[in-house]
Structures are given as structure tokens and as C-alpha cells.
Structure 1
């Protein structure tokens, strides 16, 4: 869910040498192409419209070209999977692990307000509407599919990073022992 700490984790993994693709950037790029404001309401409506018009996996499909370009060169982290359909598309690329970062609503709201992005909800009611929109897209099913999850309710940033690092080390060990990594440089 928005504000749980996904972007913090993605930035940390980028520092560790992973290439990060943020699915929300696809919507932001489409909004710019259409000269729409980059606020929460406009981006949310555009996301719903894209899914309604092109299917629930459209955002993942739009990211696949970039993923395919990169997957033989480096390990890729995708930030912001919102549905089971998106997960299925990404899973088709090979070795895929899903990490869910979750936090209580009040904690997430605090995180969102503090990050001061253009898509920050105007108030708590808008935040709750955004949560409803995310739930309607199917994010709860994607969260339920997670291979691992982290509760980011009372963690410091360093504690969050430590938990992520432990999980990633385990996954890298699995990856290195799999047959999928033939062409990927470490």
C-alpha cells in the first residue's frame, strides 16, 4: 500500500547495485504525455482508466520492454506491483520474488505526508480514497502472493534495511543456485 516503505526499500536496493523500475513512473509518464497534472486524483483516474481500457496487466506490460532489456545484464527490482495480473506478467520473465512491505494506515499516512511528492493526497480523506482505489485494483491479492513480507510499523530506516538485506541475501543464494542466472553478471 502507498506509504509503506516500498520506495525506501527500492532506493536501498539501488544503492546495492540493483536496477530499479518503478511501475508508478509509467503512469506519471503517460500523464505527462496527456498534459495531466501529476496529482493524486489525476494519476489515480488515469491508472483506473488504463486498466479499464487495456486490462489489469497493462502497467506491467508497459514495463516489460525495459525489464527484458535489462534482465540479462543485471538483477532488476520492480517497485509497485499492484495486482495479481501484474505479478503474472512479471513472473513470466524468470526468477521472480515478491516482497511485500506493509504498515498501518496511520503510519503510511505519515510517511506520505512527509515525502512531499506531487501526488501526495490533499488530506486524510483523499488518502483513504487512494487506499480504496489500490484495494480495488487488487493489491491485496498481490500482497498475499508475497514470498516474504516486512511489517514496517515500528522500524527505523536502518532496521528496515537490515530486514531487506537478510531477505535479499537469501534470495540471491537461491538465484545463484538456480539455472536461471546463466547470462546475468554479478
Structure 2
């Protein structure tokens, strides 16, 4: 059987990482695209600040093409023995095309309002999470600029993360992914 590569897409703070973390216990491997950029920053001795990580992500795409971040996770996908791999943070059609070389790709979009997402990001505590509305809007605009709206719009299914508990969000995603397993 081909690997099922479930690409979680959505604007920052929508709940993608919550789903990925919650589904590890179901035997799925998870790869976080943002962590891949953070690891690249570490290799380059860059502080993992909001501006450094944003600039690095754009630089990688400029130098190595729009699918560059997906190229960085190829070794993890190739070495995975899991039947289902969750890729958290797909941002462009080009990244999807890279992943299609390794298995059956399905897109699951996670939606949440801007207020909900901003609240989640303020609580999350990653080094690059926006703490002001201005930084939040700047990040949203950067994501939209690299094409995140396409994977969201073209997703195979979507979850509205409004009024859901963490457990309900994870369970909804699990049910959708189960329906994709052939």
C-alpha cells in the first residue's frame, strides 16, 4: 500500500499542530514543516525569532524553489514505516507536488476565526508566535503571500475549529483520516 500523506493546512493557530500531536498515539508519524524551518535555522546558527524564521522560510523558497521546505522533509518521509504520515503546515501547491512523489496525498484544512487563532498563538509559546495583532497580521499576510490559500481552498475535507474541545478536534480529524485509509 502506498503511504497516505495527510497534509494539514490552515492559517497559523487554526489547530494543525494540536491535531498532529493528538494523533501520534494512533500510530501516525508526524512531520511539522515549521519545525523543519526551525531546525534549518539552528543549523545556520540563527536565533529562532519571528523575523528570522519568516525570512529564512522565504529565502529557502527563493533559492531552492517554492517546494523547498517540502524537499527538506523528504528523508523523514522516506524513512517512515508508518502507513499514515501527517505533515503539519503545508503552505503551497508546490509543496503538495513534492509530496505526491512519495504517496497518496490528501489535504485536510483546519479553519478558525482570526480571534480564535490569535488567542491560540498567544498561549502556544513558540519563539516565533506573534504577541501583537500587528505581528499576527504580518504573519498571516506572509502565509497568504506564499500561496497557503490554495491548499486550504482545494482541500479534500475541512474542519471548522469553532466551539470544539481539543478532544473533539482530534477525533473529527481522526474520523476523516480513517475514511481515507484504503
- Deviation above 3 Å: which 4+ runs of structure 1? none
What do the CA deviations read for 1:90-124 (whole angstroms, capped 9, x no partner)? Answer: 12212121111111111100000011111111311
The equivalent of 2:164 in structure 1 is 155
Deviation at 1:153, TM superposition (A): 2.1
Which structure's residues are more often strand, by fraction? Answer: 2
CA RMSD of aligned residues (A): 1.2
Normalised TM-score (structure 2): 0.90
Kept after mapping to 1: 8 A contact 2:109/2:155: yes
**Equivalent of 1:122 in 125, 128, 131:** 131
1:166 has 2:175 as partner:
yes
| Counterpart-to-counterpart distance in 2, 1:57 and 1:137 | 10
Q: TM-score, normalised by structure 1?
A: 0.88
Equivalent residues, number: 172
| Structure 1 residue ranges without an equivalent (≥5) | 176-186
- In 2, Cα distance between the equivalents of 1:165 and 1:29? 28
For structure 2, the residue ranges without an aligned partner over 5 or more in a row are 1-10
Which among 117, 140, 145 is matched to residue 131 of structure 1?
140
Q: CA deviation at 1:4?
A: 0.2
| Corresponding position of 2:77 | 67
